[in-house]
Structure 1
């Protein structure tokens, strides 16, 4: 089904794979230039150095959870006009159902910003961010940067990257996106999917194969192989958007006439060009996917990599569900999946087909063929969200919507809510099957800390529909004998012409419209000579998601108010973190006001510091909080996972490694040092870590620095090594200045 090469390979004529172990001699460095990715990166690099890239993008995209903070940051840094097209969609806080006026206030701010600075504003319900970008902005050879982690348009020939808001601010200010040249891993598709197999099945199979090993972490996934021609473009889009869950940097696909037809249908045929690797191209790895061997798949709670074939699950229900329950308990969550077994089968109570992954035209028409003349019943609920109004219009026109609704399913407008916990939250204890992007804890909207928990398993739309007509009994679409009608799609952009505001060419002189919840970023101090960190959270889970660092769901309504949102930091994982962070932050406020911060319990800490460093001066020691996690930052690109720690007085994170490049970048852009520890940690909650001469270490480009762990439980002082790995010159300056805003000021 899937095989991985241990080392690099050469791809010859797009078909023959030659491994490094074969003994064939070739010049690796020259052949690296033969990939599609190399050409696009070279076209967008302004550094004249392909080892250290400085990229400028063609277009930017944000949604209503992220764009207020980005524009506020850019405005504080000197924003005058958006230099490239910047699309502001409204697909996350769309319902305006929580928090009074504050969500619609954000939308009004977005429209006023589009008018003032020359942006493109897509009103609520018109399109989820990534479908709108596919339909109107993606093109062959382009690069797009988005403030949502699922910014992926590789199947349309666009290298798209999801990042935290700070990286978009740099582009808005005509700066660059700076990274080392990434590894390029080929994803070789061969064969054709069986009837009933959808894009989620293939995506989950790939995620299962590469996630835990980090095979494609921070690399580019380049899709090649003859199997691509057997996939429609929306099918490719459905696979592509899920590459985010592998922790890759971005993706790109070989293009063909089907892509040309897609762009022509969307009135943009001039955006097409053939993209293909050279006759001989070197890849740093290769994943071979036999499409014809892919089965109907399911990702069980609580991660998209927790993948089994539905057949395997059905044959080993008790064993697998016991394992999943035990894994959940290790994360502090008690779930009961085995109670879902009835008469030897697993039953769910809910299904959702939605968003950039599930709500595409192809997925919904196939699901509708399964649902036609059937009933979803009383005990199972099904919701379907077309990904854009043009998609909805066409589905309505050709009768697909009627098929879906007559089955008892509910059809809603374009909305990302079910993907991040703001729509279709199940009842306590229920299992929801979703063709969305993630199934992290609370992603469906439950609050385990308040005694309520439900669970999400990811599946393809076709298998969800098959399960729905069987009363919620887990059913693979491949078990059915369905004739899929495949009605042709006709794109109609009249609704966009009538509703979308495009001010890029001619921005208007306009005032920004603020609501009472839209608050400026607080002032943030520059890095001090020395640093004292209080450990306010130690998380020993293998991976910590951004959802755990700052919860999704209804908290998103407060993302325009930095201090109010910060109250939710780590609330579902370490409930007392916020209290501890705020308490130690009081000492830093004293220091910033020129008062002695080492009072009360901190007086004893200062005595120990001066035993280590006799020259230590209280007003030169920045005091703040830190967290430790083995591998933090998997999942969303949301910068608030870092900024919320910062506004509470956070100065650093300490980790064995960072799950994604984007989370590490978020820390840096908010002036938080991303320390690495190689040894086993020898500190715990409430310990202090003193770091002498941290500012000079960063300025002098040191690779590591000593830290001194001061225990609050005994007199011990232990030395540890904190590594400062791979910081660019700009990143070092941002850290010294205290954050990106200070740096640009």
Structure 2
């Protein structure tokens, strides 16, 4: 059972949740949270409400670190100032695009040598498992260029952001945010055998995603139920907090946390973290672990959650509703989306099963799945099972205790540590197949299908235990609570770091400054980007009315990953799944901006634009086309749910975008990406006055960004008639305003270097 409190609540002695206390003021009790203590310990501003955070370490993987290092290098990078882990767990296969994936890896290794980084080669560990095993510790803060950067169960406040925020840390700048609200997650009870971390995570996500209960807030896990969970189990819940859209997470630590860190040779990184005797939370989520049942998140979001038992009892009704909603989301009339066809003799039959990555590939998930599938068969028909242990040390332990043999004997395929199934670069299902996965997301087509080619597949998220139970039952959906198996004691786990000692390059202590960076032919520099002028004209190049627009729709994941080091090549995929004509529209208008930058009056190249300027003269006399930035804009109701990938913004910028307009931004990290790429994050309450291909004139925007009041920005839709509309911008720091006015973080840093 998961319950949301409608108001802030107090926690007394980590045991009792109450609405009021008389002994302590609310303001004092707000300082009683673990989050407050950790954030202030890393805050360099001196102002507890306006945070300037410096992190203890950072992490990136091989579809983000090249761009980050290139950007920092252009801004004067000499040495990594903090430990920076470069893992290679996304473009691991080195199979698409010739040499370009391995070229990125070699760039990463050369950068680790030159600047003092920690380089983890392909197939050795997925990013978050390595950070859990080797870097996270109590009271620390870690920044990662992956949205699932979450190590709260180990006492670390970790945040996933776009690359621009990591660049700032590399240049010894700070992560600037207002002090966030803190929401308590009160755990009580003990999970039933067969209920896993994904079940608990999905139960919470289903309650808080759609209402924004924890959006951009910190989730602080407290309560007596924590003691009933082993730390490896807690990790599995924690990593999924990203799907709630929270900013970060932190857990009360205890002797089990110490045991986990000790097992990994890092007992010195243990400190007991606990709320003070009285702590105030801006919201509270009450979770009775004993009432949680095996769950399934049906397409196309982790919040589309049902109890497996309920789904099995109501198959026709539920699946028809999902089909109806799915057709609205997919908007692909030529492709049939059909889940009810998976009902066989009154039961739901799946086609594929996967346990993988930072969420599914942990030791305890693998162990208990192996016990469930022992002496069972995957069968010799369509159904397949692939398992991906999250690191080579986990793989070694599973080999030594025989768990891998149980998987192999059942017919399962054993893979190395790789994030591919989570973002569409591995085990893409067959057309019209239904895949059940213990991974992190099930967004439309994230698993690798291409609707533009007539392909359609579906992914449902489940816990590893129920996945194993389903496979053992011939592919018919089965909760693990129906199975009898022996629970895993994590204390039996023997972590062996030999593979890390033999293969991981650690240059943090001593750099090799004379090493030259290794560039493959696909690694390209960022193109020049125009500085924001006082007046701008923006053309609506895409108008998306979906309730939520994910980063996977803004820039697809799997098939684009090999081009993440090539800004122009990658930009060709922008919105390709959602609005295939966007790139052509954006490029056409960007040609006029390029002409302006090169000294050619753009109105001489476009009679339509000339007419627009003539109409604008009734608003701003003698407006000069040569002093007016021409850029495109994407409108979406709520863009940016999902990945931290900065390319969701940078690809728009490379094609000439200068703004987004939205009713709200799904995540703080997407909005930060827009800002770091010099794009104005406009907000609007009513979008009915403009549409696709309309021109919007925004006068005095640079001047407005230099002011404190961003609440009422006059803009004009230039059509047959001129319509005034109201835009506004949520709070921005002074530095963020300067970045947007400069045209990008790169431009801003270059200016600082010159000064």
Identify whether the pair has TM-score above 0.5, normalized to the shorter chain.
Answer: yes
Q: Which residue of 2 aligns with 1:315?
A: 313
Partner of 1:179: 177
Q: Distance in 1 between matches of 2:396 and 2:122?
A: 16
Residue 688 of structure 1 is matched in structure 2 by: 695
| In 1, Cα distance between equivalents of 2:689 and 2:732 | 25
TM-score normalised to the size of structure 2?
0.97
Matches within 5 A, 1:455-470: 455-470=458-473
Contact 1:369 1:485 in 2 (8 A): no
The answer as to whether partners of 1:138 and 1:153 remain within 8 angstroms in 2 is yes
- 2:669 matches 1:671: no
Q: Report the counterpart of residue 619 of structure 2 in structure 1.
A: 612
- CA drift at 1:191: 0.5
After TM superposition, give the deviation of residue 378 of structure 1 in Å.
1.8
1:200 corresponds in structure 2 to 198
Unaligned runs of 5+ in 1: none
Task: Confirm or deny that 1:500 pairs with 2:504.
Answer: yes
Q: Distance in 2 between matches of 1:307 and 1:708?
A: 42
**Other structure's SS at 2:97 match:** coil
* Aligned-residue offset at 1:481: 2.1
Q: CA deviation at 1:122?
A: 0.2
Secondary structure of 2:692's counterpart equals coil
In structure 2, the partner of 1:710 is 718
**Number of the residue aligned with 1:273:** 271
Q: CA deviation at 1:678?
A: 1.6
- The corresponding residue for 2:742 is 737
Write the distance in 2 (CA, Å) between the matches of 1:74 and 1:623. Answer: 27
With normalisation by structure 1, the TM-score equals 0.98
- 2:568 is matched with 563
- Cα distance, 1:485 vs. partner? 5.1
**Cα distance, 1:620 vs structure 2:** 1.3
Distance 1:180 1:93 in 2: 35
Q: Within 5 A, what are the aligned runs for 1:439-518?
A: 439-484=442-487, 486=489, 488-508=492-512, 509-518=514-523
What is the rounded CA distance, in whole Å, between the counterparts of 2:707 and 2:338 in structure 1? 54
| SS of 2:617 mapped into structure 1 | helix
CA distance in 1, matches of 2:419, 2:430: 19
Partner of 2:552: 547
Q: Note the alpha carbon deviations across 1:459-497, whole angstroms, 9 max, x for none.
A: 000000000011110001011222335471000000000
Q: Distance between the aligned counterparts of 1:118 and 1:416, measured in 2?
A: 25
Aligned to 2:753: none
- Matched residue SS, 1:720: strand
**Mapped partners of 2:390, 2:566: distance in 1:** 28
Q: Map of 1:365-380 to 2, 5 A cutoff?
A: 365-379=367-381, 380=383
Residue 247 of structure 1: CA displacement? 0.1
CA contact under 8 A between 2:684 and 2:726: conserved in structure 1?
Answer: yes
CA RMSD of aligned residues (A): 0.9
Q: Displacement of 1:10 after TM fit?
A: 0.8
For each residue in 1:83-113, what CA deviation from the matched residue of structure 2 results, as whole angstroms up to 9, or x when unmatched? Answer: 0000000000000111100000000000000
Q: Deviations over 1:226-268 (max 9, x none)?
A: 1001001110000000000000000000000000011111011
Q: Secondary structure at the match of 1:221?
A: strand
- The residue that corresponds to 1:572 in the other structure is 577
Mean CA deviation greater in 423-432 or 605-614: 605-614
Residue pair 1:377, 1:469 contacting (<8 A) in 2 also: no
Instruction: Describe the SS at the equivalent of 1:744.
Output: helix
Aligned residue in 2 for 1:632: 639
3-state SS of 1:318 partner: helix
Contact 1:429–1:454, Cα closer than 8 Å, also in 2: yes
Distance 1:740 1:465 in 2: 47
Task: Tell me which residue corresponds to 1:416.
Answer: 419
Give runs of aligned pairs for residues 427-438 of structure 1, distance below 5 A: 427-438=430-441
Structure 2 distance, partners of 1:188, 1:223, is 6
Tell me how far 1:143 sits from its aligned partner.
0.1
Deviations 1:676-721 (A, max 9, x none): 002243100000000111111111233131110113xxx1211111
**1:301 corresponds to which residue?**
299
Once the two structures are superposed, residues 651-676 of structure 1 have per-residue CA deviations (whole angstroms, 9 ceiling, x without a partner) of 00000000000000000000000000
Long gaps (5+) in structure 2 = 751-755
Aligned to 1:335: 337
Q: Is the 8 A contact 2:185 2:284 kept in 1?
A: yes
2:602 counterpart SS class: coil
Q: How many correspondences in the alignment?
A: 740
After the TM superposition, which segments of 4 or more aligned residues of structure 1 sit over 6 Å from their partners?
A: none
Q: Distance in 1 between matches of 2:175 and 2:43?
A: 9
Q: Distance in 1 between matches of 2:21 and 2:279?
A: 16
Q: Deviations over 1:605-638 (max 9, x none)?
A: 1111112221311111100100100000000000
